[in-house]
Amino acid sequence: MKYVLLFCGRTPQELARREAMSQEVRAQMDTRVARWFAEYHSKIGSAAQLQEAHTTTSVQFAADGRPLITDGPFLEGTEVIGGYAEIDVADLDEALQMAKTWPAGAVEIRPVVNASRP
């Protein structure tokens, strides 16, 4: 089964805490994340860290179908998605096991729709 892990939790408070950390502590956190990716590399397809939320451009659609383009994220909230990893695992239990070991905040797990394209 394929899932996408959405790495959440980059609230303004967490970003401020990270900025206030010493370079050494920040490097230790980054090392834990790198170890996580190394541990699960055989299960991870594509993965990427995303730019900060303020770089987002959203497209929504008016009732008449016209696209409305705005700067900033579509969803209003304090947590934003900071990155993702597509994983190929046996089942949700295995995806949960991976997510439970993520060292840097909350993880949302979404199954990928298995649809063949013509």
C-alpha to C-alpha distance for 47 and 23, rounded to whole angstroms: 25
- Determine the pLDDT at residue 38: 97
Q: Say if residues 107 and 92 touch (Cβ distance below 8 Å).
A: no
Nearest to 33 by CA among 89, 110, 101: 101
The CATH T-level fold of domain 2-52+78-111 is Alpha-Beta Plaits (3.30.70)
pLDDT < 50 regions, the chain: none
Q: Say if residues 5 and 102 touch (Cβ distance below 8 Å).
A: yes
- Determine the pLDDT at residue 116: 61
- Determine the pLDDT at residue 15: 75
Query: Quick one: 7 exposed, middle or buried, by C-beta within 10 A (0-12, 13-18, 19+)?
Result: buried
Query: What pLDDT digit, counting tens, does each position of 32-63 carry?
Result: 999 999 999 999 999 998 887 778 888 889 89
